[in-house]
Amino acid sequence: MTPNPTSLPGRVRLDQILSVVIPSYRVKAHVLQVIERIGPEVAMIFVVDDACPEASGAFVEAHCRDPRVRVLRHEANRGVGGAMMTGYRAALAAGADIVVKIDGDGQMDPALIPRIARPVLARQADYAKGNRFHSLWNVRRMPRVRLYGNAALSFMTKLSSGYWGVFDPTNGYTAIHAAALERIEFANISERYFFETDMLINLGNARAVVADVPMEAVYGDEESNLHIRKELWPFLSTHLRELAKRIFYTYFLRDFSPASLELLLGAVFLLFGIVYGSAEWYHSISSGHVASTGTVMIAVLPILLGVQLLLNFLAFDMANEPKVPIQPTLTLADLFVHDAAPDSARDHTR
């Protein structure tokens, strides 16, 4: 297979195999159009038929003539995460350097693949994802339910993953480097609708660099398979559990820093102030006696000190976001391309 080398502006030239994974479930009406619009920069396309009731895998095989396409099948439905894990494994086995996820329902413009993959191609990030909140105009076009839901999920994901600079965590338009995929335990990734968020959480544990890429979403006649009421509590409980795990692993198991002390002392002072102040307030109300100045200060000062320490910890946590990619860094051979050498001399076959 001879992939087209990807060239970036300037003198940087990166020859890396770019592949695409399309989870396919109830997208028969759109999936062929999505495949047709995938550009020549992509070397391999994996369509994962996740036990689709529309037999979309067989439909693609019967009507798609693109030699890059390979259909994978599940005997039972495993969800978008399960489909992506199958696609990721196949892409890694085929020698892909970068794997892009794109949905088959037409909401994601395949023309944006080079833009989404660019931070990973340029070795500026290990994982790149779309962000539909980059402009006010695009936010106004977003359905209200999705707007408010994504805003709430974004805040919860910042807490549970540690990626404070990332927004729109449920955006499924992503690109990941093989080096980052190899750091992830696939068994730890949710196979259902928590997949995108779970990827961020596990990438945070691996200290991978994540980049947001501005994009616009397309809202057509497709229907979402997500049932908000059914998934709300699992989302919330999972975020709380992952937050506790991240704090413990990052600040007490892997390392112990001044931020760890700020968290401990801040929590103790704040808890003491709230409990003591509440008890004294109740005693004052029930007895009719006004609390003394000393009693008020004993309650207020620990609260103020606890809040300040927790704010300091939060600032440290926000600054602790990964900044050095885990994928191989550029070499001099990657950076400098000799103008005298023809392109054919620099291309290679894998």
Lookup: tokens for 78: 């495993």
pLDDT tens-digit map of 55-93 = 999 999 999 999 999 999 999 999 999 999 999 999 999
Q: Can you spell out the DSSP letters for 296-341?
A: HHHHHHHHHHHHHHHHHHHHHHHHTS--S-SSPPP-HHHH---TTS
Write down the pLDDT at residue 235. 76
pLDDT tens-digit map of 2-36 = 444 444 443 334 478 999 999 999 999 999 999 99
Q: Can you spell out the DSSP letters for 103-127?
A: -SSS-S-GGGHHHHHHHHHTTS-SE
Write down the pLDDT at residue 8. 44
Share of the chain above pLDDT 90, in %: 60
pLDDT surpassing 50 at residue 134: yes
Helices assigned H by DSSP within the chain: 31-36, 56-63, 79-93, 113-121, 136-141, 144-161, 178-181, 195-205, 228-248, 258-287, 293-319, 332-335, 343-346
Lookup: tokens for 323: 């900044």
Burial grade of 292 (CB within 10 A; 0-12, 13-18, 19 or more): exposed
SS3 145: helix
Cβ neighbors of 140 (< 8 A, separation 6 or more) are: none
Cβ neighbors of 214 (< 8 A, separation 6 or more) are: 130, 131, 134, 135
Which secondary-structure segment (H or E) carries 47? strand 44-49
pLDDT tens-digit map of 297-350 = 999 999 999 999 999 999 999 999 999 999 876 555 555 544 433 343 334 334
Report how far residue 308's alpha carbon sits from residue 320's, in angstroms, rounded to the nearest whole number: 18
Crossing angle, helix 144-161 and helix 228-248, to 10 degrees? 20
Cβ neighbors of 213 (< 8 A, separation 6 or more) are: 115, 116, 118, 119, 128, 129, 130, 131
pLDDT surpassing 50 at residue 186: yes
Q: Which of 5-9, 81-85, 114-118, 254-258 has the lowest mean pLDDT?
A: 5-9
For residue 274, CA distances in Å to 2, 16, 55, 174, 268 come to: 66, 56, 59, 44, 10
Q: Which residue has the tokens 């709380």?
A: 240
pLDDT surpassing 60 at residue 195: yes
Burial grade of 299 (CB within 10 A; 0-12, 13-18, 19 or more): buried
Q: Which amino acid is at 69?
A: V
Report how far residue 260's alpha carbon sits from residue 164's, in angstroms, rounded to the nearest whole number: 18
Lookup: tokens for 30: 């759109």
